[in-house]
Structure 1
């Protein structure tokens, strides 16, 4: 079980590195990357669906598919100007805040340690967005936050998935024409290289499609606190990947802000809700 979880988290972090490597190095434009990512993910999942002779029918849920599409587009556009580690931190911070806010809206009562943790996480994100801190511009940081909110809703809706493979395949198939329409709208600005295609396909087929199925096949077998906590490893893994593969620089402020965000999220997750 823990081996599968580790593979899923590494895949999530790899998505950040692959996207940043493809876009920041001008290997491909964001819309082409998104289209290839969704298309290759759909193809890979379709092959698995056929090879394993899955009997469960496809279930199209437009809310899940729309959330996935918004996440993928925001994710790709934001990584034009955001480092892999910072992007992952903003993304998963927004995911946690979205899921916590939804729980509160649904009537779950929060303890003071959880409110304190949420405040710390917001403070850390604000530090990351300070212009003098070599942080991402507000526009692209906002895109990443929107992507995180969309992924948060996708994760919430995923709790109702009856079959991980068919549900994920359905969402990719539903999202494909949406991304294709936006791609055609931006067609004059598109550019593609072979390296860009390879990176997009790796992101879509392995780090997205395959990883999402793997994650949702195990997330219901572990408790919610464990499921949330293990995802906190993704920003750290992405920062490490950015340093190793992209030559990105670590700053003391980035480390300090990251520590505040991670400690805040940990406080929210580990604090027991009020009965």
Structure 2
């Protein structure tokens, strides 16, 4: 469900920016604010306050990383095409999580490396026809978006209350959003359709999707969290076939087999290790 939400976010952002129905800063601001408003509504329905912050928590750090991810993602897609952006983003996410995990003492076994390589190859094969030489500034922005999301993912693995933690993270983006609005106000261009796309991205794909992702991270290793996200471009491509009447082709089928096959190898590697450990006990 979380990965479907991620794919929906990408589709909504591309639709909004591709047709110039809204500018990147406005899309980012509306997306983040609507996500926080969604949490206000949800916590209000549950008769709980939004949201008392423990001074010892680091939600402001998660909020900062979340803001960096969303704003750089939006501005990068102004000039990046879909295939190039997807490859840069999810490749960077994967590399970020793996490098940080290795520095933290996590060692990947042969099966995990094999699964990662196969999945990434499948993603590269999918987007290869649309790859273009990226604009340097857009490339850097998408790399920053990928690094930020990789860090945000690792921070979420320690979450004990995914809904509360995600709400707090979005709460701490609000001051940054206000600064963004002040800086970019003269350049803002918002249409009704663009606002609807941004609200849908924030209130549903982000607020609910990110909460589900934090919940899912409790049962995933760092490597699994990295590799399963490579399925997002594939899910987005399948969504294009189902909802935008795009044609299904051999390239998409082969890419799905590679990406999902690589993910399966990583997951089965962990299951086999768990079974081996249990049998030894």
TM-score norm. by structure 2 comes to: 0.77
Structure 1 portions without partners, runs of 5+: 1-5
2:239 is aligned, of 241, 261, 267, to 241
1:67 is aligned, of 62, 65, 68, to 65
Residues 258 and 216 of structure 1: CA distance in aligned 2, closer, same or farther (over 3 Å): same
**What SS does the aligned partner of 1:31 have?**
helix
CA distance in 2, matches of 1:46, 1:120: 42
**Corresponding residue for residue 29 of structure 1:** 23
Mapped contact 1:86–1:239 kept (Cα < 8 A) = no
**Structure number, greater radius of gyration:** 2
Aligned pairs, number: 267
Mapped contact 2:84–2:134 kept (Cα < 8 A) = no
Residues 266 and 183 of structure 1: CA distance in aligned 2, closer, same or farther (over 3 Å): farther
Structure 2 portions without partners, runs of 5+: none
Higher relative contact order (CA 8 A, sep 6+): 1
**Corresponding residue for residue 134 of structure 2:** 137
CA positional deviation for 1:179: 2.5
**What SS does the aligned partner of 2:53 have?**
coil
Mapped contact 1:90–1:125 kept (Cα < 8 A) = no
**Corresponding residue for residue 42 of structure 1:** 36
Q: Is residue 2:211 matched to residue 1:213? A: yes
CA positional deviation for 1:232: 3.5
**What SS does the aligned partner of 2:157 have?**
helix
Residues 198 and 227 of structure 1: CA distance in aligned 2, closer, same or farther (over 3 Å): same
CA distance in 2, matches of 1:173, 1:232: 28
CA distance in 1, matches of 2:143, 2:125: 15
Mapped contact 1:93–1:121 kept (Cα < 8 A) = no
CA distance in 2, matches of 1:208, 1:106: 28
**Corresponding residue for residue 108 of structure 1:** 106
CA root-mean-square deviation = 3.5
CA distance in 2, matches of 1:257, 1:251: 10
